[in-house]
Amino acid sequence: MRNDPPADNRGSVAHVLVWDIPTRLFHWSIVLLLFISWLSADQGFMTVHLWSGSALLALLLFRIAWGIVGSTTSRFRDFIHPPRKIAGYLKAMASGEKPLHAGHNPAGGLMVAILIAVLLAQALTGLLANDGMHFSGPFANWVSEEGSAQATTLHRMIFNVILLLIWCHIVAVGFYLFVKGDNLVRPMFTGKKPHTHVPAGLQIKFTRLYIALLLLILTVGVVAWIAIQGAF
């Protein structure tokens, strides 16, 4: 599907649709689930923690699939770049240039890939973790007591890495907003960027929403199967 951006009253293009609905919903759902996961663990609501972690895993599996078959700006091949291109982008930014990208820029794309990998590791170690008293992950009994304890320790350590990545993400967003004058938050709500922030002549293809729904149903089913297997 071709992306035809709307025009303002003067006949010039005002904004360009760059982010599809599934990607935006994924982004804000992850933010919400991370908060719920932290709060539930901090307050000892481990059943809630298990459900939020399971939902997080389902969404991460969905995002991986969406990164393959999703809309142009949501695909991994659009925002994961070799180190040379990332370094070139950072060098251009340092020299005062403002390279245009419809979706994630090379540095932002690297951050997204790292976040997905770290969050996936957090969710998977949670399947093997236990608190030593009242709670065990679905697969905690599938490994030795020592193995579960190691997974629990790793689960807690990874959370500190997540906090660091969140801090880096917030700092980067603030830098783009206050130094470069580029609001990265608003497009994650509206899906649109000003046309001056998007390469000229860009063509964005959007994958149909029913495919996203089918993928989400599939990933939820996979996580539910994992939970059922862990119960036996």
Which has the minimum average pLDDT: 10-14, 17-21, 220-224? 10-14
- Say if residues 149 and 160 touch (Cβ distance below 8 Å): no
Q: How far apart are CA 205 and CA 195, in angstroms?
A: 17
The pLDDT mean for the chain works out to 88
Per-residue pLDDT of 125-137, as tens digits, reads 999 888 766 677 7
Half-sphere exposure of 144 (CA within 13 A, CB side): 3
Q: Name the more confident of 228 and 112.
A: 112
Whether 172 has a pLDDT exceeding 70, the answer reads: yes
Half-sphere exposure of 7 (CA within 13 A, CB side): 4
Per-residue pLDDT of 19-43, as tens digits, reads 999 999 999 999 999 999 999 998 9
Q: What residues does each domain of the chain span?
A: 26-230
- What separation in angstroms does the CA of 32 have from each of 3, 23, 163? 30, 14, 14
**Model pTM score:** 0.89
Per-residue pLDDT of 78-95, as tens digits, reads 999 999 999 999 999 888
Rg of the Cα atoms in the chain: 20
Written as one string, the DSSP assignment of 85-140 is HHHHHHHHHHTT-----SS--HHHHHHHHHHHHHHHHHHHHHHH-B-SSS-B-TTG
Q: Which CATH number fits domain 26-230: 1.10.3470, 1.20.950, 3.40.5, 2.40.50?
A: 1.20.950
